Amino acid sequence: MVPRRILPVVVLSQFAGTSLWFAVNAVMPDLQQAWGLPAAAVGPLTSAVQLGFVAGTLVFALLMVADRFPPRSVFLVCSLFGAAANAAMLLTDGRLAALLALRFAVGFLLAGIYPVGMKIAAMWYRERLGAVLGVLIGALVLGTALPHGLRALAGSGAVGNVPWQAVVLAVSALAVLGGLATFLLVPHRSPAAGAARITPRALGLIWSDRKLRASVFGYFGHMWELYAFIVLVPLIVATRVAGGAAVSAASFWAIAAGFVGCVGGGWAARQVGSARVAQVQLATSAACCLAAPLLLAAPLPLFFGWLLLWGATVAGDSPQFSTLTAKNAPAAVVGSVLTFTNCIGFAISVVSIQLFVAAAQAWPLARVLPWLAAGPAIGLWMMRSLLRRRIG
The answer to whether the CB of 49 falls within 8 A of the CB of 21 is yes
Beta bridge mates, 160: 158
pLDDT of 130: 67
Q: Which of 383, 255, 377, 264 is nearest to 310 (CA)?
A: 255
- CA Rg, the chain, in Å? 20
Task: State which residues form the domain around 235.
Answer: 198-392
Looking at every residue in the chain, the average pLDDT score rounds to 92
Provide mean pLDDT across the span 15-35.
94
Residue 262: pLDDT above 90? yes
Dihedral-angle region of residue 163 (phi above 0 means left; psi in -120 to 50 means alpha; beta otherwise) = beta
126 & 181 share domain: yes
260 & 354 share domain: yes
Cα separation, 207 vs 213, whole angstroms: 5
Residue 193 in any domain: the answer is no
169 & 67 share domain: yes
pLDDT one-digit tens code per residue, 106-154 = 999 999 999 998 888 878 886 666 678 888 899 999 999 999 999 998 8
Cα separation, 175 vs 314, whole angstroms: 25
319 & 359 share domain: yes
32 & 157 share domain: yes
The number of distinct structural domains making up the chain is 2
Of 115 and 196, the one with more pLDDT:
115
Cα separation, 67 vs 363, whole angstroms: 48
pLDDT of 68: 86
Angle between helices 114-124 and 129-156 (to 10 degrees): 140
Domain stop point among 187, 218, 252: 187
SS (H, E, C) 65-93: HHHHCCHHHHHHHHHHHHHHHHHHHHHCC
Whether the CA torsion 199, 201, 203, 206 is positive or negative: it is: negative
Cα separation, 214 vs 275, whole angstroms: 10
* Percentage of the chain lying above the pLDDT 70 cut: 94
Q: Domain holding 239: CATH number?
A: 1.20.1250.20
pLDDT of 193: 53
What residues have CB less than 8 Å from 303, skipping those under 6 apart?
240, 295, 296
Cα separation, 310 vs 312, whole angstroms: 5
Residue 21: pLDDT above 70? yes
335 by DSSP, 3-state: which?
helix
339 & 227 share domain: yes
Residue 53 in any domain: the answer is yes
Q: Which of 20, 232, 233 is nearest to 147 (CA)?
A: 20
Domain stop point among 187, 210, 244: 187
75 & 143 share domain: yes
Residue 339 in any domain: the answer is yes
Q: Which of 381, 358, 356 is nearest to 370 (CA)?
A: 356
Residue 1 in any domain: the answer is no
157 & 209 share domain: no
pLDDT of 185: 95
305 & 376 share domain: yes
Residue 305 in any domain: the answer is yes
Residue 324 in any domain: the answer is yes
